[in-house]
Structure 1
């Protein structure tokens, strides 16, 4: 199987990424990119590891920002904000593929995957915080 990147950003990119050959369709796996599945934006924490964040802002704040569901780091996204954009994409683009029984492989960052699992498995915000991926 050959991965083929599909573009859905507008009519022209969709048209250009359309596959016409039956043989190619049968031998390819469509790869659809979606910015909605990007990792959360950590704002002022961007680029810092956990130890650096704790050293700069304090361990308590670092844990709260990284693990709480609805408290964003300075100039960044909370887990809830990241979840909302990922779940909208899943609901609109992925679930319609799953309902008729299609297999869908999702490659994304940990937090985006966490929310997708939260949505599909109907986990609470408390349950998803302790989910290790």
Structure 2
């Protein structure tokens, strides 16, 4: 989450908006890759095979092996999260990430929209989960969605929180976006 926070700090400073309130939540953290967290992709492929690697990485509902609860990198033992009332996950598939991100969207972000512009600085899989909701993507179609790193996605919503337009800030580095139902 630190990279997302640093990115937001840079954006706000460049826009002379660094005095705006910033809301942080672990609910927007990157997906937890469990026992694979912090491992090199090539090492994972060599150990488990490319097919299994892709299944864990790109499927909607197949989580990687869970982190052992006694592992020193268990986020539940991190002082950063000591105030959290609920247990943090020890592994997640994209479906789990969706089930974490969307309630935060519904309860915190969506009510704050009210004709306001909001910046959500987060990591790829939490953004993919949010895009699944906003673009109304099926479980099958979300696995195809690619979100390029460092290229802001501008989404305009109507009063019903339905997308009216969406585009990447840098079209030369954009990925194909899902069709918007108007």
TM-score normalised by the chain length of structure 2: 0.57
The residue correspondences of 1:49-68 to structure 2 (distance < 5 A) are 49-68=40-59
* Larger helix share, 1 or 2: 1
Report deviation, 1:101.
1.1
Runs of 4+ in 1 over 6 A off after TM superposition: none
Equivalence for 1:77: 92
Q: Can you list the C-alpha shifts for 1:24-57, whole angstroms capped at 9, x where unaligned? A: xxxx211110100001111111112322211111
Equivalence for 1:12: none
Would you say 1:118 and 2:129 are equivalent positions? no
User: How many angstroms apart in 1 are the aligned matches of 2:128 and 2:35?
Assistant: 22
Q: Secondary structure of the residue that 1:31 maps to in structure 2?
A: coil
User: How many angstroms apart in 2 are the aligned matches of 1:120 and 1:29?
Assistant: 25
Q: Can you list the C-alpha shifts for 1:68-104, whole angstroms capped at 9, x where unaligned? A: 1111100021110011101110111111122x21111
User: How many angstroms apart in 2 are the aligned matches of 1:68 and 1:52?
Assistant: 19
5+ long unaligned stretches in structure 2:
1-15, 67-90, 148-182
Q: CA RMSD in A?
A: 1.2
User: How many angstroms apart in 2 are the aligned matches of 1:92 and 1:33?
Assistant: 14
Equivalence for 1:131: 145
Would you say 1:30 and 2:30 are equivalent positions? no
Larger Rg: 1
Equivalence for 1:91: 106
Number of residue pairs aligned between Structure 1 and Structure 2: 108
User: How many angstroms apart in 1 are the aligned matches of 2:40 and 2:132?
Assistant: 25
Q: Secondary structure of the residue that 2:20 maps to in structure 1?
A: strand
